Amino acid sequence: MPEGHTIHRLARDLRRDLGRQQLQVQSPQGRFAAESQLLDGDFLQGTDAWGKHLFLRWKSGRLVHIHLGLYGKFRRHKTPPPEPRPTVRLRLWGRDRCWDLVGPNRCELLSEEGEAELLQRLGPDPLRADADVDQVWQRIHKSRVCIGGLLLNQAVIAGVGNVYRAEVLFDQRIAPETRGCDLSREQFLGIWERLCEWLQIGVRYNRIITAEPEQVGRSRGRMRRKERLQCYGHAACTECGTEIECWELANRKMYACPVCQAGGHPVGT
């Protein structure tokens, strides 16, 4: 599932290509046909992201909410675009670019009340200027759930997924099974600040990069796929060479070094 940097990047790119334009809006698949008819000919006023949720705001006051889920993706075309595939849920056609949405978990019109209800269920997003870091700290500090589970809980922090979870805990040398209430404020701030930094890098390069250029010997833009990460998917620890452990935690695969992240509940048990 795309993590938060991907959604913020999409919001930025859609705004650049289609913002403040009168758009043709279609639903070749038909599952968004009635809504597309309402939006066809409307002006896209702006785009916004909160965690893994994308919002398209229109001059008419209407709001489209998109959640890509596991299989959703956008495809970008020059205009005139090719004939749409029959699976395209939403086509947005502007002056120079056309964007097709395929396979989203959610693509819907939301009322103001619906938007407020959705945002109420989400935790602060490290990529947003209005993120309340103290709110995140309070939710983690008061919880007996392990930090490896809390980081995937979108009601705690919005936008963090499985890769960032493993990488930030490795970077901060924290055992994934450490309970939230056992973390110090200093440890929490280390997690938060690193996530803010990495998510911004993710938006810039449109990929997850947690390794430093000095570690790899090449710039972020030239790193190979395996070189971009420090722990996730690796067979051995990039710091000490110990075999990386992999197990299920919060229904997702967790990667951690049993030596560098020693402490708390034993890694991998």
3-state secondary structure the chain: CCCHHHHHHHHHHHHHHHCCCECEEECCCCCCHHHHHHHCCCEEEEEEEECCEEEEEECCCCEEEEECCCCCEEEEEECCCCCCCCCEEEEEECCCEEEEEECCCEEEECCHHHHHHHHHCCCCCCCCCCCCHHHHHHHHHCCCCEHHHHCCCCCCCCCCCHHHHHHHHHHCCCCCCCEHHHCCHHHHHHHHHHHHHHHHHHHHHCCCCCCCHHHHCCCHHHCCHHHHCCCCCCCECCCCCCECEEEEECCEEEEECCCCCCCCCCCCC
Angle, nearest 10°, between helix axes 4-18 and 185-205?
Answer: 40
Q: Is the separation of the CB atoms in 89 and 69 below 8 Å?
A: no
Rounded Cα distance between 151 and 212, Å, is 22
In the residue annotation, 82 being an active-site residue is answered as no
* pLDDT, position 263: 62
Active site residue 226: no
Class of domain 4-120: alpha beta
CATH of the domain spanning 133-256, picked from 1.10.8.50, 3.30.830.10, 3.40.630.10, 3.40.50.2000: 1.10.8.50
Q: Is 252 a catalytic residue?
A: yes
Given the residues 9, 28, 52, 194, the one annotated as active site: 52
Token look-up 């919001």 returns 11
| pLDDT of amino acid 1 | 83
Domain boundaries, the chain: 4-120, 133-256
Among the listed residues 31, 75, 173, 252, the single catalytic one is 252
Task: Per-residue pLDDT tens, the chain, 269 aa: give them.
Answer: 899 999 999 999 999 999 999 999 999 999 999 999 999 999 999 999 999 999 999 999 999 999 999 999 999 999 999 999 999 999 999 999 999 999 999 999 999 999 999 999 999 999 999 999 999 999 999 999 999 999 999 999 999 999 999 999 999 999 999 999 999 999 999 999 999 999 999 999 999 999 999 999 999 999 999 899 999 999 999 999 999 999 999 999 999 999 999 864 444 44
